[in-house]
Chains A and B, each alone.
Chain A
């Protein structure tokens, strides 16, 4: 009931803005030897242009699965989902999104520049265009002088920045990020979060971001989707009242703490179910 009210009010606030991702009653059931696993059950959500949406919840709540359905890496077993108005498969073929995985996944035999060039080569950009784009995104993630270096010469945080640059290099308006900073330490993480907000502001992308961390979700997002497990479903959708420009110390303000509190309540409610 509460969810519905919030969804309605959210929809009213965002009325008139272009819907980028729209899921209706989305379900995904994996058949395993131990019986069916309901990774997602009746999930409905709209993501609008320019939003930064975080998905947070305990393991098994389906947040990564949801992201993978958007990316056409999994297919739903029921319900509908559109990305840019078309099916995820068509969106993937149109290269509508960049996907950042938990591990940087850079190829050790390519330089940083070569790694960022890889999707561009695959997509058939001209050599001159590739050069321009590689230089542009490297500057964007502050790795300008590392183009000729190899991945092993960079720290974990720098490698993850390179992998974000790789997802930004081609013209995709959507950025899907699956716990991209999960393996990094707190200080590096803070720095990357701050950089990511700058990136988001300067590129106007729509970002879907999966995370385990409450402060990270609250700090980054305009909308926080709290999910709960067994079956994977949306427990709460919180529209953040925080301004779009956020210095790191916004995390000490009462508003921030209040939202974090509400996220925590949502997570706890999900846990009481089992």
Chain B
């Protein structure tokens, strides 16, 4: 209960700022309309107008909320929860690419980390490439990945998932290398006195020790994965997914649609990170580490 008050305070502050910014940003258009109609706006009329424009520069929170409700809850109630106009449908499309990319990225990242920890050549050579891969703007490389994969006959979910993987493997590599190296010199000496092989040391000591690091990486990785999936939808003219909604919204100046897609993406990210957090707490508590 003690945690609720600070959170509510921050949320309230955001709303105040948001409504204030809405008035400031949308006021010129409201005044313009009034001038052309030859009427003088009172302050309250101005505020009402800035909060209810059809294509505002910045939509007010209640407009975004209404749009989100219209495209989620209301559609569920009318039995069209999964129609192509529903945000639930678009979220699902983006989520499936995110989840697949995240799984692939976690596998790739873990394999690279194992290679780096166990192989001296990889230790010396792989990390600079991994870092270099992340300095390339994803928005530049995403269309090429899609085009190249399309050329070899791969389309649909997988190209988007590849872009997600490209972003999400990085935190996993960094975290897992650190985690797999986290056993102390004493712990490593200890398994050496038992003459344990590399595989035994990995399964009994290194992998369990890396769990706290892995989960931290996974949280960053899944958020990056979502960004990857959305970016993968942007330049390709995808017809479905939160990225497609963002793109369509910006084509037609539908700012309310853009913001509702953005907020839905944020909620989706929070949900996924929260889910990993639950698994993390449960696992680490059972392991006696947390």
A positions within 8 Å CB-CB of B: 68, 71-73, 92-93, 95, 97-99, 101-103, 105, 107-109, 118-119, 121-123, 150-152, 170
Contact = CB atoms under 8 A, between A and B. Distances in A.
Contact of B208 (A71, A102, A109): A109
B200 interface: yes
B186 A107 contact: no
A173 B186 CA distance: 22
Nearest to B211: A109
B189 A119 contact: no
Contacts of A109: 208, 286-289
Given A107-B205, A122-B204, 9 more contacts: A101-B190, A102-B186, A105-B190, A107-B208, A109-B287, A118-B194, A122-B195, A122-B200, A151-B288
Given A105-B190, A150-B288, A122 B196 contact: yes
Nearest to B186: A101
Given A109-B208, A109-B287, A92 B190 contact: no
B189 A103 contact: no
B84 interface: no
A150 B286 CA distance: 10
B70 interface: no
B205 A71 contact: no
Contacts of B194: 95, 118-119, 122-123, 170
Nearest to A89: B195
28 contacts: A68-B189, A72-B192, A73-B189, A73-B192, A73-B193, A92-B192, A92-B195, A93-B195, A99-B189, A101-B189, A105-B186, A105-B187, A105-B190, A107-B205, A107-B208, A108-B287, A108-B288, A108-B289, A109-B286, A109-B287, A118-B204, A119-B194, A122-B194, A122-B204, A123-B195, A150-B288, A151-B288, A170-B194
Contact of B191 (A72, A103, A122, A170): A122
Nearest to B191: A122
Contacts of B286: 109
B234 to A, nearest CB: 43
Given A118-B204, A122-B200, A152 B288 contact: yes
Contacts of B190: 99, 101, 105
A92 B193 CA distance: 6
Contact of B193 (A99, A103, A107): A99
Contact of A97 (B186, B187, B193, B200): B193
Nearest to B290: A108
Contacts of B208: 107, 109
A144 to B, nearest CB: 21
Interface in B163-193: 186-187, 189-193
Contacts of B187: 105
Contact of B195 (A68, A95, A103, A151): A95
Contacts of B189: 68, 73, 99, 101
- By Cβ-Cβ distance, the 5 closest A-B pairs, closest first, are A108-B288, A109-B287, A99-B193, A119-B194, A122-B196
Contacts of B195: 92-93, 95, 122-123
B73 to A, nearest CB: 43
A101 B288 CA distance: 21
B207 to A, nearest CB: 10
Given A107-B205, A107-B208, A71 B193 contact: yes
Contacts of A99: 189-190, 193
With a 10 A CB-CB cut-off, give which of B186, B189, B289 has the most chain A CB atoms.
B189
B178 to A, nearest CB: 18
With a 10 A CB-CB cut-off, give which of A99, A107, A108, A119 has the most chain B CB atoms.
A107
A57 to B, nearest CB: 21
Nearest to A108: B288
A102 B288 CA distance: 22
Contacts of A102: 186
A123 B195 CA distance: 8
Contacts of A103: 186
Nearest to A119: B194
Nearest to A94: B195
Nearest to A68: B189
Contacts of A121: 204
Nearest to A111: B288
With a 10 A CB-CB cut-off, give which of B187, B190, B287, B289 has the most chain A CB atoms.
B190
A108 B212 CA distance: 13
A65 B288 CA distance: 33
A121 B204 CA distance: 10
A138 to B, nearest CB: 18
Nearest to A107: B208
Contacts of A105: 186-187, 190
B54 to A, nearest CB: 58
A151 B287 CA distance: 11
A177 to B, nearest CB: 12
B289 to A, nearest CB: 6
Contacts of A68: 189
B166 to A, nearest CB: 33
